[in-house]
Amino acid sequence: MSEPPLRPDLARDLIARAEQASTHWSRRIRHELDDLRLGHVRHTDHVNTTVLRRILAEYDWPGHRLVGRDGCRAAWQLALHADDANVQRSAARLLHRAVQTDDAPAWQWAHLHDRVLIHTNQPQEYGTQYTLSPQGVERYPVREPAGLDSRRAQVGLPAASVAAATLRRRLASLPRQPGTASDAASGAQLASAA
C-alpha cells in the first residue's frame, strides 16, 4: 500500500482540471469544436498553464509523493497541453528529475520530452507525438528510427508499431464532425497519443 500524498488538496485540483479539460481535448481530436468552443479550450489551457507554472515554481514537479499517481498523471496531462513552450520545457526538466528519484514514471517524461522537441522543430526521441493530416495519422519525425523501439522499451512504452496501430484504431472509432474549426485545420497534434 502506498503512502497518501502530502498534498491531497493539490492532487484534487490537478485531477479536476485535467478531467474538465480532457473533455475538450477529446472533442478537439474528434473535430467537434466550433470557433467559440475552440476559443474556450484555448482559454482553459491558458488558465491551466498558469496554475501549472505556479505549482512548478512552488513545489517542483508534482510527483507521486506530493500528489499521488493520479495527481502526477493530471499534472503531466496539463503540461502536455500547456500553451507556453517555456512552461513545457521547465515541466519536462522537472519531470525528468522526478523520474530519476522514482517520483514519476519515465513514460510520462518521454511524452513531454517529445512534445518539447517537436515544438522546437527537432525530431522526437520516443515517437509519441502524432499529427492528423489529410492522409491520416502520421508520426512526427523521429531521431534514429532504427533505435526507436529500444528507446521506447527503456521508458516503459510499447513498440512503436503497436502504439501506432492502437492510436489508429482508437481514432477510427471516433465520429468526425465536418464543418468545424478543427476540421478545417490542415493538421491537429495528438497529445500523449502513443
Express each pLDDT in 86-133 by its tens digit. 999 999 999 999 999 999 999 999 999 999 999 999 999 999 999 888
pLDDT at 182 over 50: no
The full 3-state SS of 29-60, as one line of letters, equals HCCCCCHHHHHHHHHHHHHHHHHHHHHHHHHC
Task: Tell me the average pLDDT of the chain.
Answer: 87
- More reliable by pLDDT, 176 or 113: 113
pLDDT at 163 over 90: yes
Evaluate whether 67 touches 55 at the Cβ level (below 8 Å): no
Separation between Cα atoms, residue 16 and residue 51, nearest integer Å = 12
> How confident is the model at residue 185, as a pLDDT?
34
> How confident is the model at residue 36, as a pLDDT?
65
- pLDDT over 70, % of the chain: 81
Separation between Cα atoms, residue 120 and residue 43, nearest integer Å = 23
Relative to beta strand 130-133, strand 188-190 is antiparallel
Residue type, 69: R
Q: Dump the DSSP string for 147-193.
A: GHHHHHHHTTPPPHHHHHHHHHHHHHTS---TTSHHHHSS-EEETT-
Separation between Cα atoms, residue 57 and residue 160, nearest integer Å = 34
> How confident is the model at residue 181, as a pLDDT?
40
Strand order in 188-190's β-sheet? 136-139, 130-133, 188-190
pTM: 0.87
